[in-house]
Amino acid sequence: NSSSQDVPFSNIFHNFHVPFKPLTLELPESLGDLATLRELILSGCVSPNHLPQFPRSLQRLELGGSKRLLELPKGLGDLAALRELILRNCNELKEIPSSVVQLNHLQTLIVINCCGLRRLPQFPSSLITLDAYGCINLRQVADISNLQHLETLNLDRCDVLEVVPGLRNLQSLTFLRLPFHISQRERL
């Protein structure tokens, strides 16, 4: 019967959402085999401290409340279709891999209340929104002068951040929020 073809399990998923409940969840290494997965949202998963490789089809990745997450996969830059990367309350996360600069379609990067985050790497010029509100230990931001399409920049409550290299070169900026001490120094 031609109407009941076998569909591989890996082609079924487009969206995968684990709702907010304190869960101990280790993601299977085979997650990268879900070739049609476009959106992955994990909220409140207190574990994992390690993430598997993600499928290259992923357009939106959201991790919230992953309190033990130590690092993002090194191959994050291989997610050529990724448009949105959202990280909330990932307190142990120290850095975003430098491979993120390879994400030529990335438009939105939100890292809210990621208290362990110490530095932000170079980003692709496609970025429109960069929101790092409440990253209280953020000390360093790479030069952002290449972000000619950036419309929103929020670094409020990044209280140990001293300087934002390239800030004055942003031509498309419509929303800017900085820690008070940087606003004063830059005379904004």
Q: In the prediction, which pLDDT does 46 show?
A: 55
The residue range of the domain holding 76 is 26-186
> Is position 91 within any domain?
yes
Residue by residue, pLDDT tens for the chain (188 residues) are: 444 344 344 444 466 554 544 445 567 777 778 889 999 888 876 555 667 888 999 999 999 888 788 888 888 999 999 999 999 999 999 999 999 999 999 999 999 999 999 999 999 999 999 999 999 999 999 999 999 999 999 999 999 999 999 999 999 999 999 999 888 777 76
Q: In the prediction, which pLDDT does 20 show?
A: 45
Q: What is the pTM of this model?
A: 0.85
Q: How many domains does the chain have?
A: 1
Q: In the prediction, which pLDDT does 71 show?
A: 87
Euclidean distance between CA atoms 94 and 49, whole angstroms: 12
Read off the CATH number of the domain in which 111 is found: 3.80.10.10
Q: In the prediction, which pLDDT does 30 show?
A: 77
> Is position 167 within any domain?
yes
> Is position 155 within any domain?
yes
Structure token pair of residue 9: 């399990």
Euclidean distance between CA atoms 151 and 138, whole angstroms: 21
> Is position 106 within any domain?
yes
Q: In the prediction, which pLDDT does 25 show?
A: 58
H or E stretch covering 182: helix 180-186
Euclidean distance between CA atoms 26 and 24, whole angstroms: 7
List Cβ neighbours of 163 (8 Å cut-off, separation of 6 or more).
141, 182
C-beta of residue 20 within 8 angstroms of C-beta of residue 41: no
> Is position 169 within any domain?
yes
> Is position 46 within any domain?
yes
> Is position 84 within any domain?
yes
> Is position 90 within any domain?
yes
